[in-house]
Amino acid sequence: ADTPPEFDREVVRRRIRSAGRSYFSYGRVVYQAPSYPFFGRWHLDSRNSFLLKETALAGLLELSRLSKVPVQKMARTSPGSAISMMQLDRALTDGILIPWKKGEPERWKTAWDLLVADKGGLVYQPITGLYEGVAEIDFASMYPAMMVHHNISPETVDCACCPDNAAPEIGYSTCRRREGLVTRTLRPILLRRQALKRLRDAAFGPARERYDHRQTALKWILVTCFGYLGYKNARFGRIEAHETVTAYAREKLLTARAIAEARGFRVLHAIVDSMWIQKAGATEAESRDLCRAIREAVGIAINLEGIYKWLSFLPSRVDPAVSVANRYLGAFRSGELKLRGIDLRRSDTPPLVAEAQQRMVEILAQADDLAGFAARIPEVLEVFVEYAWRLREGQVRLTDLTIKRTVSKEAGEYKTNSQIGLASRQMADRGVAVHPGERVRYVITDADARSAEDRVRAIPFLAPDTLYDTGKYLELLCRAVETLLWHHGYDCGRLLRILAERGVIPE
């Protein structure tokens, strides 16, 4: 009974990295926890594996087979590593020499050339407001599809043999005579994903779920393949190829917009590979016909994502006069919701506030148009008052008030008494190391306390008699309601007055 379990089935000499590491990725700090592989068995940790969490076992096995990376290792690597291994495999298969390290520097550019080339994808500022009958159309796997369609690969960009086949605006040519390595790698992945989506749509139950996980796994590597073109350490990366992709993307989105406007549609918003368009009296068939016209013009598939019963483009919280590209919510005619940048999508929103906002969104989703949206506001306000009373009367669990935030530095490096700094110092003072990139969880106990130590309490050190800051959590709840009802004039001040009228807070 005292014999420890044998996790391995093979006699091995373990050389396991027992320490995690923190690194910067796209402007944020990420923490990679140490891995503990078994020998002769699989150890798959969903809390430490992005791919397993997003695509389940079926998706993980799909990528492991395609990249020829062992399952345990695949579970602990990124989608970018998978596409990189597929490129290496294709290079070996085709007899191409693989550089040990990337050795080709970015070519010299003047300041003007850099300004023209280094623009990225095209992003419009949405027209803030509440709309009905808006159609959303999306390019299907736009960047990888363009890389295949235009043969964009490090060795095919700016070739000497095809100077007339130039990318728009920046002038880099792409080769017509030989297919690039990246193109040869991506083409079968795109075709395979299309086949898996067809199988998913024809299947039911567990089979449908498995096909969906497998196509989702391929979606993630297609998403990352573009970024790897411009990654400084990618063996088969080159910044000019990266810039060529974005140049074509800008042109195709502008072309799509011009075609839509020529057909009488109003473009409310556009971002990289998607457009939100509106036309009085437009039918679904008319929107699909527009997609066909755009597809014929640009050579890339574009699909109708759906038509919204109502759609809300929200302003910035910092400056309400400014719109935000990725902050909107809407309900499709199919009943599906699309939520971006609102409270319940944020990881630092307390579960209670996210739950309340979810209930309110589901009420609004029942509306078939803007009149129905307005008619359901009283029901939304009843939910708001219900949750406010629960906070006021202490009828909530402390764990439902947890705020999770990512630590960007060591505990001792925080110079101000921010909430996250206080929580991480509490952890460090009690011997719990929180590395940059890891998350710290805490409850706001008294946001305005004179003693900084009393303002928040890290979750491991909560006591049964710990009190929370009711006013602060009511403020967070008000902000969640404000997000949904902003266009009907319900700001936090008006919502607090409603709570005072209902007796939740003193007038």
The model's pLDDT over 131-158, given as tens digits with 9 standing for 90+, comes to 999 999 999 889 999 999 999 999 999 8
Q: What is the largest CA-CA distance in the chain?
A: 78
Residue 295: other Cβ atoms inside 10 A: 16
The model's pLDDT over 66-116, given as tens digits with 9 standing for 90+, comes to 999 999 999 988 888 899 999 999 999 999 988 887 767 788 888 988 888
Q: What's the whole-number average pLDDT of the chain?
A: 90
Helix then strand count (H, E) for the chain reads: 15, 12
pLDDT at position 8: 75
Q: CB–CB of 40/70 below 8 Å? A: no
Choose between 116 and 214: higher pLDDT.
214
Choose between 107 and 190: higher pLDDT.
190
pLDDT at position 107: 81
Residue 35 has pLDDT above 80, yes or no: no
Q: In sequence order, which ranges of 332-395 are alpha helices (DSSP H)?
A: 351-364, 370-375, 377-393
- Comparing CA positions, the residue from 81, 50, 51 lying closest to residue 67 is 81
pLDDT at position 410: 86
Q: What integer is the mean pLDDT of 260-273?
A: 96
pLDDT at position 78: 85
Residue 239 has pLDDT above 80, yes or no: yes
pLDDT at position 10: 73
Give CA–CA dist 291/312, Å, rounded: 23
pLDDT at position 466: 92
Q: Model pTM?
A: 0.87
The single-letter DSSP state of residue 173 is B
Share of the chain above pLDDT 70, in %: 95
Residue bearing tokens 């395609």: 66
User: Which domains are seen in the chain, by residue range?
Assistant: 21-77 (no CATH), 115-341 (3.90.1600.10), 342-507 (1.10.132.60)
pLDDT band at 230 (very low <50, low <70, confident <90, very high): confident
Residue bearing tokens 């130590």: 453
Give CA–CA dist 129/313, Å, rounded: 5
Give CA–CA dist 468/401, Å, rounded: 8
pLDDT at position 59: 95
Burial of 203 (0-12, 13-18, 19+ CB in 10 A): middle
Give CA–CA dist 249/297, Å, rounded: 13
pLDDT band at 13 (very low <50, low <70, confident <90, very high): low
The model's pLDDT over 411-425, given as tens digits with 9 standing for 90+, comes to 888 888 999 999 999
Burial of 338 (0-12, 13-18, 19+ CB in 10 A): middle
Q: What integer is the mean pLDDT of 295-300?
A: 94
pLDDT at position 14: 64
Any residues with CB less than 8 A from the CB of 499 and at least 6 apart, and which?
385, 388, 474, 505
The model's pLDDT over 160-171, given as tens digits with 9 standing for 90+, comes to 888 888 889 888
The model's pLDDT over 424-435, given as tens digits with 9 standing for 90+, comes to 999 988 888 888
pLDDT at position 138: 95
Residue 400 has pLDDT above 60, yes or no: yes
Q: What is the DSSP string of 34-93?
A: -----SSS----GGG-HHHHHHHHHHHHHHHHHHT--HHHHHTS-HHHHHHHHHHHHHHH
pLDDT band at 119 (very low <50, low <70, confident <90, very high): confident
Residue 2 has pLDDT above 70, yes or no: no
The model's pLDDT over 337-368, given as tens digits with 9 standing for 90+, comes to 999 999 999 989 999 999 999 999 999 999 99
